[in-house]
């Protein structure tokens, strides 16, 4: 569990959304910490189909989905992103980008005029090409500086050092004027 957030940013309630996809809980922990700092709402995106428990089987399935440019059905989504000016978008990096469920989420909503702030957990590939993919999916939005944290079974993304990294990153975004 991440340490309690240092302080919340002075953002208007309801204007910030932190949305995430998480298989193991690493990205969820980061999303929850961001939400403590930035306020607003928290939403989890889930694919309608389950991924295998085995890590290798999951990555194999994720690779097939990416190669097929598949947009899986979503079991959970955000009803309306209209009220949000800033949307933190979190995901594990699978094969150099977001899981295909996040592609489906981003394509379903109009992000025109919104600020998207990406964050990911990864095993060595950081944000990969996810920023370019988000720009292509949401060309009328502003993409904020992303954050990449190691996930893994050791759980760096859930530790105190990651918490300090998240605190500094969110404070450095200067989102107080986000609307």
Please tell me what DSSP assigns to residue 9: -
Distance CA(103)–CA(82), nearest Å, equals 18
Whole-number mean pLDDT of the chain?
Answer: 88
Q: What's the pLDDT tens digit per position in 62-112? A: 999 999 999 999 999 999 999 999 999 999 999 999 999 999 999 999 999
Supply 47's token pair. 């694919």
Which CATH number applies to 16-172? 3.40.50.360
The C-alpha atoms of residue 148 and residue 150 are separated, in whole angstroms, by 7
Q: How is the chain split into domains, by residue range?
A: 16-172
Q: What are phi and psi of 116, to 5 degrees?
A: -105, 125
Quickly state the pLDDT bin for 55 (edges 50, 70, 90).
confident
Give the chain's largest Cα–Cα span: 43
Q: Tell me the pTM.
A: 0.88
pLDDT given for residue 155 in this prediction: 75
Token pair in block for residue 139 = 């060309």
Q: What residues does 17 pair with on adjacent strands? A: 41, 87
Q: Which of 160, 171, 179 is nearest to 7 (CA)?
A: 171
Residue 35 tokens read as: 């939400």
């Amino acid at each position: 569990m991440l340490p309690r957030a240092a302080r919340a940013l002075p953002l208007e309630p309801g204007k910030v959304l932190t949305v995430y996809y998480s298989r193991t809980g690493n990205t969820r922990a980061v999303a929850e910490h961001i939400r403590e700092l930035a306020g607003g709402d928290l939403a989890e995106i889930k694919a309608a189909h389950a991924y295998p428990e085995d890590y290798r089987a999951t990555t194999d399935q994720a690779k097939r989905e990416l190669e097929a440019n598949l947009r899986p059905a979503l079991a959970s989504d955000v009803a309306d992103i209209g009220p949000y000016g800033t949307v933190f978008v979190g995901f594990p990096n699978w094969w150099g980008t977001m899981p295909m469920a996040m592609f489906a989420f981003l394509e379903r909503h109009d992000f025109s005029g919104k600020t998207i702030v990406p964050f990911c957990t990864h095993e060595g590939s950081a944000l990969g090409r996810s920023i370019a993919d988000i720009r292509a999916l949401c060309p009328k939005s502003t993409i904020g500086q992303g954050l990449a944290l190691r996930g893994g079974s050791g759980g760096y993304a859930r530790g105190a050092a990651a918490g300090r990294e998240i605190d500094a990153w969110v404070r450095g975004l200067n989102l107080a004027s986000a609307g």
